[in-house]
Amino acid sequence: MDKHACRACRGSAGHIVLDLGDQPACDYFPRRDDPGPDPVYPLQMWLCSSCGLAQLLADPTVPEEPRGTEPAALVSQAADAVQRVAAAGWLPEGGVVDEYGSPHGGSWLGLLAAQGLRSVGQAGQADVIVDCFGLMHAADQRAALAERAARMAPGGVLLLQYHALSTILSGGQWNALRHGHYAYYSTTALTGMLARAGLTPRTAWRFELYGGTVLLAATRTGGGPDDALRSMLADDAGIGVGDPGAFAGLQQDIQAHAKALHDWLAAERSSGRTVVGYGAASRAVALLCHARVDRLLLPAVIDASPAKQGLRMPGTDIPVAGPDQLAARRPDAVLLFVPDLLAEVRAAFPEVETGGGRWVDAATLGS
Ligand SMILES: [Zn+2]
């Protein structure tokens, strides 16, 4: 294998800090009647010794069309974020905005239009460049950030939102690692990347989405980090986001988490209780594969996305089923793979709890 060059600084020194082994592509959902085996690819996180960017080492997969539905938690966080950014004075009245969106959806343009900004499409410069989980999907991080910086009008602001590496580390979120997501930003590493792109990070806001999501504002000129941002950098230093040793616990969490899930499902089954999953998300794929869960232990994963019906979970024989199966199967427990969905699914499917069932957060099993 050729030596890996950092996606941000091109450095070649670094460490594999998380290794999930060979995994199916998490957005390749085979048809239910496709017996497999599904193709698998190495899935490893590499931490650059030079710039500290945690990144996907190699990605031989080809992205599939996203089939997800937008969680209500994502929509309400976007509204909250735009309110907070506006209140802090970062949205110039009548200014031009452009957006680098995530392929998984979640545009902020409507919310920003309501704040008086104008969208002109992907042409020319903009006073506000919004990137909500977009940058992580770029294989060449340096080029992608340079492109965004070049699009900023004089005096413009770049608003970058990302799932914080500190959250992944402190929350044991090893299954955040997936093909197609090339970078896992610490605020510290991102600060360095921005500096090399000629930008100065100014402030940041933290949100509970995904257990800890950061929205950072950067400009070409102006002062340095404010207190909020400095406090996040201090948190990063405390966790050790640039230290390969700080990732050891994450690697250990894999087997512990997988075993806890398998044991819990086996115990539920031997007690005669019915369990189904909810949320055919990428992190469910990695968890179910590591825990060697099959349809005997988990007969279905419920997902609201019509595009996933008739398919099965990659790397397993577990079918994806529609929400109507919650009423039909009357499960004793619904294993939720996307904790941010909890409020939404409890409200949408009251029959689970009125029928005597309960929602169980898959991330908390064994922790
Ligand atoms: Zn680097």
Per-residue tens of pLDDT for the chain, all 367 residues: 568 999 999 999 999 999 999 988 877 889 999 998 988 999 999 999 999 999 999 887 777 666 666 778 889 999 999 999 999 999 999 999 999 988 777 899 999 999 999 998 777 899 999 999 999 999 999 999 999 999 999 999 999 999 999 999 999 999 899 999 999 999 999 999 999 999 999 999 999 999 999 999 999 988 889 999 999 999 999 999 999 999 999 999 999 999 999 999 999 999 999 999 999 988 899 899 999 999 999 999 999 988 889 999 999 999 999 999 999 999 999 999 998 899 999 999 999 999 999 999 998 886 6
Distance 189 CA to ligand 1 centre (A): 9
CA gap 317, 295 in Å, rounded: 6
CA gap 221, 194 in Å, rounded: 12
Distance 366 CA to ligand 1 centre (A): 34
Distance 76 CA to ligand 1 centre (A): 34
Q: Which two tokens stand for residue 323?
A: 């929400």
How far from the centroid of its chain's Cα atoms is residue 16's Cα? Answer: 20
Distance 6 CA to ligand 1 centre (A): 4
Distance 7 CA to ligand 1 centre (A): 6
Q: What is the 3-state secondary structure (H, E, C) of the chain?
A: CCCCCCCCCCCCCEEEEEEEEEEECCCCCCECCCCCCCCEEEEEEEEECCCCCEEECCCCCCCCCCCCCCCHHHHHHHHHHHHHHHHCCCCCCCCEEEEECCCCCCCCHHHHHHCCCEECCCCCCEEEEEEECCHHHCCCHHHHHHHHHHCEEEEEEEEEEEECHHHHHHCCCHHHCCCCCCEECCHHHHHHHHHHCCCEEEEEEEECHHHCEEEEEEECCCCCCCHHHHHHHHHHHHHCCCCHHHHHHHHHHHHHHHHHHHHHHHHHHHCCCCEEEECCCHHHHHHHHHCCCCCCCCCCEECCCHHHCCEECCCCCCEEECCHHHHHHCCCEEEECCHHHHHHHHHHCCHHHHCCCEEEEHHHCCC
Distance 187 CA to ligand 1 centre (A): 14
Distance 295 CA to ligand 1 centre (A): 42
CA gap 298, 76 in Å, rounded: 31
Distance 145 CA to ligand 1 centre (A): 13
Distance 9 CA to ligand 1 centre (A): 4
Distance 286 CA to ligand 1 centre (A): 26
Distance 232 CA to ligand 1 centre (A): 20
CA gap 281, 297 in Å, rounded: 18
Distance 247 CA to ligand 1 centre (A): 17
Distance 30 CA to ligand 1 centre (A): 35
Angle between helices 248-270 and 282-290 (to 10 degrees): 80
Q: What is the pTM of this model?
A: 0.91
Distance 40 CA to ligand 1 centre (A): 27
- Give the pairing of strands 40-48 and 183-184: unpaired
Q: What is the 3-state secondary structure (H, E, C) of 272-316?
A: CCCEEEECCCHHHHHHHHHCCCCCCCCCCEECCCHHHCCEECCCC
